[in-house]
């Protein structure tokens, strides 16, 4: 999975919303409520697009940055004299 810049992310999100609005236009043009039941399908991709990593972001944040030999309760060991 490649990383996306903010501009590309915004463009894909706008495209997905345009597809949903296109289905609304189809509903108006055909005088049928059936396309309304499919309007949510393009919008399922919006959270996936918006949560993708940016090019400059760190690949791991939080839990993965902690050393494997330390738990939450462990503290840094002090050297013994």
Cα–Cα dist 3/52, whole Å: 7
Cα–Cα dist 79/60, whole Å: 30
In the chain, what are the domain boundaries? 6-54
0.75 exceeded by the pTM?
Answer: no
- The pLDDT value given to residue 58: 63
Is the CB of residue 42 less than 8 Å from the CB of residue 17? Answer: yes
Tens of pLDDT, residue by residue over 15-39, are 999 999 999 999 999 999 999 999 9
Tens of pLDDT, residue by residue over 48-73, are 888 877 777 666 555 555 555 555 56
Residue 8 scores a pLDDT above 80? yes
């Amino acid at each position: 999975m490649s990383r996306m810049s903010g501009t590309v992310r915004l463009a894909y999100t706008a495209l997905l919303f345009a597809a949903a609005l296109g289905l609304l236009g189809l509903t108006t043009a055909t005088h049928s409520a059936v396309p309304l039941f499919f309007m949510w399908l393009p919008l399922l991709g919006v959270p996936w697009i918006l949560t993708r990593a940016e090019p400059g972001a760190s690949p791991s944040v939080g839990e993965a940055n902690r050393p494997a030999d330390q738990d939450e309760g462990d503290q840094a060991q002090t050297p013994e004299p």
